[in-house]
């Protein structure tokens, strides 16, 4: 099977990590796999398996995510059975690819909570199938964009950083950050974009009672980071709010944290919350698309109405006050749920089975 994955740029976001995981897994399963990017380089480029054919459209990095010179020529050269478009920019071109190559099965993907651009919406009506990464995303496709339910398949994201089979708490990192055994470490791993809303987390923790021992760890980078650092400084939280920057593998943070916190206003299925659950970390989050599918609501994660800071703070304090036995039981439940629901082998198999069905339908 000849599979072509299309992605604008290999930046460090969740979609890009899913793209690399799928490309490497498809190639490992003996499929002729090509990853086509618009822009060259990218932080994650070195993570591509040698078994994956790599093509880049821009001769040098223009910084333009939408610029795809020679896209059709590259698809012709690849002659794929399946074209899987990942990310907003690639999906904007999905409809054009399908019209030019009716014999190939072009698949669009829905993995964002943002309003879709017009070209993306047009592609949804032209492609053979749409893969949504959450049930909420599927419902949004039907209700907001009038896509027929039978044209949509739901395949959840995969665990990119599965934990070791035996969990070992990272006390070394906690000591380095001067977090005591009694300190409740809150963790958020996300790009610093306005919609990810790390500012809200800083606002919330600034209202904790003085006798509550806590730290907030923020991992990631982006345009909104400097404003968040300034806010933490203005609130005199410099010793408690830690900025770790962009990490290729945030697993050490997961192994050291106590509670995952997320205030994002735009999600489809949060990779961060999936990874946190797999490492046994309960979550307190604001409501957003797909959020409740990343954990077991009111058992391993709590969804808070947007803007209700008091309820958000209360849920954190309640979890922090649990006994060791309660924490271990909840942690084991979270790990079991995430490792089963988001197992990479299972998700990759679902994609390959879907591809085979589409090819068989095309050949009839």
* Burial profile 181-211: b = 16 or more Cβ within 10 angstroms, e = fewer: eebbbbbbbbbbbebbbbbbbbebbbebeee
Rg of the chain over all Cα atoms, to the nearest angstrom: 21
Q: 104 in a domain, yes or no? A: yes
Say what the pLDDT of residue 102 is.
92
Instruction: Give the C-alpha separation, 268 to 253, whole Å.
Output: 23
Q: What would the pLDDT profile of 126-138 be if each residue is shown by its tens digit?
A: 999 999 999 999 9
Q: What would the pLDDT profile of 247-291 be if each residue is shown by its tens digit?
A: 888 999 999 999 999 999 988 899 999 999 999 999 999 999 999
Residue 362 has pLDDT above 80, yes or no: no
Same-domain check for residues 314 and 325: yes
* Burial profile 18-27: b = 16 or more Cβ within 10 angstroms, e = fewer: bbbbbbbbbb
Instruction: Give the C-alpha separation, 138 to 132, whole Å.
Output: 6
pTM of the model: 0.89
Helix H, strand E, coil C: the string for the chain is CEEEEEECCCCCCHHHHHHHHHHHHHHHCCCEEEEEECCCCCCCHHHCCCCCEEEECCCCCCCCCCCCCCHHHHHHHHCCCEEEECCHHHHHHHHHHHHHCCCCEEEEEECCCCCCCHHHHHHHHHCCEEEECCHHHHHHHHHHHCCCHHHEEECCCCCCCCCCCCCCCCHHHHHHCCCCCCCEEEEEECCCCHHHCHHHHHHHHCCCCCCCCEEEEEECCCCCHHHHHHHHHHCCCCCCEEEEECCCCCHHHHCCCCEEEECCCCCCCCHHHHHHHHCCCCEEEECCCCHHHCCCECCCEEEECCCCHHHHHHHHHHHHCCCHHHHHHHHHHHHHHHHHHCCHHHHHHHHHHHHHHHHHHHHC
Q: 248 in a domain, yes or no? A: yes
Residue 166: pLDDT band (50, 70, 90) is low
- State the residue range of the domain holding 184: 171-341
Burial (CB < 10 A; 0-12, 13-18, 19+), residue 30, is exposed
Instruction: Give the C-alpha separation, 160 to 23, whole Å.
Output: 13
In DSSP terms, 188 is beta-bridged to 218
For residue 108, CA distances in Å to 42, 102, 147, 236 come to 22, 14, 12, 46
Percentage of the residues of the chain whose pLDDT score is greater than 90? 87
Instruction: Give the C-alpha separation, 83 to 355, whole Å.
Output: 10
Q: 165 in a domain, yes or no? A: no
- Averaged pLDDT for residues 3-17: 92
- Residue 166, C-beta contacts closer than 8 angstroms, at least 6 positions apart: none
Same-domain check for residues 152 and 199: no
Say what the pLDDT of residue 363 is.
67
Instruction: Give the C-alpha separation, 156 to 294, whole Å.
Output: 9
Same-domain check for residues 269 and 296: yes
The domain that holds 188 is classified in CATH as 3.40.50.2000
**Structural domain total, the chain:** 2
Same-domain check for residues 109 and 252: no
Same-domain check for residues 308 and 181: yes
Mean pLDDT of the chain: 94
Say what the pLDDT of residue 169 is.
78
Q: 166 in a domain, yes or no? A: no
For residue 47, CA distances in Å to 8, 105, 206 come to 16, 27, 38
Q: 163 in a domain, yes or no? A: no
Same-domain check for residues 200 and 153: no
Say what the pLDDT of residue 364 is.
61
Q: What would the pLDDT profile of 31-85 be if each residue is shown by its tens digit?
A: 999 999 999 988 888 889 999 999 999 999 999 999 999 999 999 999 999 999 9
Q: 187 in a domain, yes or no? A: yes
Residue 200: pLDDT band (50, 70, 90) is very high
Percentage of the residues of the chain whose pLDDT score is greater than 70? 98
- Residue 346, C-beta contacts closer than 8 angstroms, at least 6 positions apart: none
Q: 79 in a domain, yes or no? A: yes
Q: Give yes or no for a contact between 260 and 284, defined as CB atoms under 8 angstroms apart.
A: yes
Say what the pLDDT of residue 219 is.
97
Same-domain check for residues 96 and 200: no
Same-domain check for residues 7 and 119: yes
Q: 323 in a domain, yes or no? A: yes
Q: What would the pLDDT profile of 232-249 be if each residue is shown by its tens digit?
A: 999 999 899 999 999 888
Same-domain check for residues 37 and 139: yes
Instruction: Give the C-alpha separation, 159 to 278, whole Å.
Output: 8
Say what the pLDDT of residue 309 is.
97
Same-domain check for residues 210 and 68: no
> Left (φ > 0), alpha (ψ -120 to 50) or beta: where does 49 sit?
beta
Same-domain check for residues 318 and 212: yes
- Averaged pLDDT for residues 137-162: 94
Instruction: Give the C-alpha separation, 328 to 344, whole Å.
Output: 25
Q: Enter the tokens of residue 163.
A: 């934990």
Same-domain check for residues 152 and 221: no
Residue 165 has pLDDT above 80, yes or no: no
């Amino acid at each position: 099977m000849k599979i072509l994955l299309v992605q604008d740029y290999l930046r460090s976001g969740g979609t890009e990590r899913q793209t690399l995981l799928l490309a490497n897994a498809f190639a490992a399963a003996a499929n002729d796999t090509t990853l086509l990017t618009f822009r060259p380089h990218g932080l994650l480029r070195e993570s591509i398996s040698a078994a994956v054919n790599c093509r880049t459209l821009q001769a040098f990095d223009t910084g333009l995510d939408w610029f795809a010179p020679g896209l059709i020529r590259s698809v012709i050269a690849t002659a794929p059975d399946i074209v899987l478009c990942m990310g907003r920019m690639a999906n904007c071109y999905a409809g054009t690819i399908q019209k030019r190559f009716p014999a190939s099965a072009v698949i669009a993907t829905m993995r964002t909570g943002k309003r879709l651009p017009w070209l993306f919406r047009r592609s949804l009506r032209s492609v053979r199938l749409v893969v949504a990464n959450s049930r909420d995303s599927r419902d949004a496709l039907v209700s907001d964009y009038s896509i027929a339910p039978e044209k949509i398949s739901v395949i959840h994201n995969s665990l990119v950083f599965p934990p070791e089979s035996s969990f070992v708490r990272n006390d070394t990192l906690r000591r380095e950050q001067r977090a005591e055994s009694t300190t409740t470490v809150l963790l958020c791993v996300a790009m610093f974009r306005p919609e990810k809303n790390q500012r809200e987390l800083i606002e919330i923790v600034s209202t904790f009672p003085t006798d509550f021992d806590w730290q907030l760890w923020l991992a990631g980078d982006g345009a909104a980071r400097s404003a968040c650092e300034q806010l933490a400084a203005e609130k005199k939280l410099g010793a408690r709010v830690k900025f770790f920057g962009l990490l290729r593998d945030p697993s050490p943070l997961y192994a050291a944290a106590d509670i995952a916190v997320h205030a994002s206003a735009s999600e489809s299925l949060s990779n961060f919350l999936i990874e946190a659950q797999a490492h046994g970390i309960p979550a307190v989050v604001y409501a957003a698309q797909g959020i409740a599918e990343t954990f077991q609501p009111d058992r391993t994660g709590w969804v808070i109405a947007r803007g209700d800071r008091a309820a958000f703070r209360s849920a954190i304090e309640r979890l922090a006050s649990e006994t060791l036995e309660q924490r271990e039981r909840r942690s084991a439940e979270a790990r079991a749920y995430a490792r089963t629901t988001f197992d990479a082998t299972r998700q990759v198999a679902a994609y390959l089975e879907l591809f085979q069905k589409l090819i068989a339908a095309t050949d009839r």
